[in-house]
A and B are shown apart, each in its own frame.
Chain A
């Protein structure tokens, strides 16, 4: 089974801190994604990447950046954490094939609280 591992299950950070959320997948997937999920708002795409060193903005990239130096690792960075970034953060990966899509595999999520 594909495994997507997020480094922390719960995090508490202070306003203004730089926060790193790490995600590692072990099945050589090309595509990786970062979402945040808030009650009533569903899953919102922050950034995604189709290959090493590639990154694309999703629907809500403001206040975030990403890094993908290795194929298996996709990091989400909160440059200066704010209380409105308190959320559940979900990483996902998927296999890329021209004529098929097998869906995403999600990590277990990181619940981030900014105080």
Chain B
């Protein structure tokens, strides 16, 4: 059983709209959560992390965490073609290692 689950997509989003990505996790001990963006053929880059329930905003990105429901989400406002990428969700395990989801592909259409 995968510990971090994401819809693989592709998630098609019109330019300027909000992209909403969801992630669920099974390890109730997970403390911190991360969103990585990965362009095709490139390595993942960290865009957000969150460890408290609620929302955290950074520019056009908002991460949301609900530990009771065991889900994490990422909102991308005013989506741009440059946001087209695969987004990886990750949560910490009991040893502090990151457990990655398989990623959601986002395609922003002009």
Closest to A91 in B: B43
The A/B interface has a contact count, at CB < 8 Å, of: 42
Residues of chain A within 8 A of B103, CB atoms compared: 42
Instruction: Select one of B31, B43, B98, B101 contacting A103, CB under 8 A.
Output: B98
Q: Please determine whether B46 and A101 come into contact, CB atoms closer than 8 angstroms.
A: no
Q: Please determine whether A103 and B46 come into contact, CB atoms closer than 8 angstroms.
A: yes
Q: Which residues of A contact B (CB under 8 A)?
A: 33, 40-43, 45, 48, 90, 96, 100-109
Q: Please determine whether B97 and A109 come into contact, CB atoms closer than 8 angstroms.
A: no
Residues of chain A within 8 A of B100, CB atoms compared: 42-43
Known: A42-B101, A42-B102, A42-B103. A105 touches B96 (CB 8 A): no
Residues of chain A within 8 A of B51, CB atoms compared: 101
- For B, the interface residue count at a CB cutoff of 8 angstroms equals 21
Could you name 19 residue pairs across A and B whose Cβ atoms are closer than 8 Å?
A: A33-B97, A40-B102, A42-B88, A42-B103, A43-B100, A45-B97, A90-B43, A90-B44, A100-B32, A101-B31, A101-B32, A101-B96, A103-B32, A103-B49, A104-B46, A104-B98, A106-B44, A108-B43, A109-B42
Closest to B98 in A: A104
CB distance from A110 to the nearest CB of B (A): 10
Q: Please determine whether B43 and A106 come into contact, CB atoms closer than 8 angstroms.
A: yes
Q: Which residues of B contact A (CB under 8 A)?
A: 31-32, 34, 36, 42-46, 49, 51, 88, 90, 92, 96-98, 100-103
Q: Please determine whether B88 and A101 come into contact, CB atoms closer than 8 angstroms.
A: no
Closest to B44 in A: A106
Closest to A45 in B: B97
Instruction: Select one of B45, B49, B90, B102 contacting A102, CB under 8 A.
Output: B49
Other than the known A43-B88, A103-B46, what 6 A-B pairs have Cβ atoms closer than 8 Å? A41-B102, A42-B103, A101-B32, A102-B49, A106-B44, A106-B45
